[in-house]
Amino acid sequence: MILTGVLLLSLFLGVPYSFESESIVVTLDSARIAVEGEYTFKNLTGEKVEAYLYYPFPLDSCDYPDEIVVENADFSFAPEGIRLSFPIEPEGRKCIKIRYVQRLKSTYARYILRSTRSWGRPLEEAYYSVSMPRIWQKIYISIPLDRVEVKGRRRIFFGKFSDFMPETDLIVKWKYRSAGATAEDSDN
């Protein structure tokens, strides 16, 4: 999940909820990155609370998203991200779903993970998958995704983590196959 200094300040003031887990699906093609995330938060009190978060987008590798869908939370636009608000029932959990699509600027994509550290505790569980055209070569993924499947023209990397405190963002770099590659090969 993504946080800023505003949320860091809130942590010192005693935020009554915690960030428990995330499940992230990253789908890459030659022109865009699509991210689908499920984020689970837990109310640490016996009273209903309203959670407020800032969710920035990585703009070094991509443009501001041209598509954003949020489920189970209200959101408003911010210069480099979105602001979220949602209620969490007493001692309850809330799953927020966010989907966004960004146009890629190069053969590099990033999903922000390091801000998890702002919560002061690791995620109980984290799941990540990265799907890309199987013809892409010299693939670099910054976190250890330990399982790979090939489905049709796509290669999908998977990883599951417990007590996860990321040291780096999820960064993916690749090279296109040079001779004979077509847009159909790259994007399906």
End-to-end CA distance of the chain, in Å? 28
User: Which token pair is 132?
Assistant: 């890309």
Beta-strand runs (E) in 104-136 = 108-111, 123-133
User: Do the beta carbons of residue 29 and residue 131 sit within 8 Å?
Assistant: no
Q: What is the pLDDT of residue 177?
A: 74
As for how many domains the chain has, the answer is: 1
Query: In terms of C-beta distances under 8 Å and separation of at least 24 residues, what long-range contacts does 44-47 make, across chains too?
Result: 44/16, 44/17, 44/18, 44/91, 45/16, 45/90, 45/91, 46/90, 46/91, 47/16, 47/90
User: pLDDT 10s digit of each residue in the chain, 188 long?
Assistant: 333 333 333 344 478 999 999 999 999 999 999 999 999 999 999 999 999 999 989 999 899 999 999 999 999 999 899 999 999 999 999 999 999 999 999 999 999 998 887 888 899 999 999 999 999 999 999 999 999 999 999 999 999 999 999 999 999 999 987 655 544 455 55
| Range(s) of the domain holding residue 125 | 5-187
CATH of the domain at 88: 2.60.40.3680
Whole-model pTM? 0.86
Q: What is the pLDDT of residue 117?
A: 78
Q: What is the pLDDT of residue 2?
A: 37
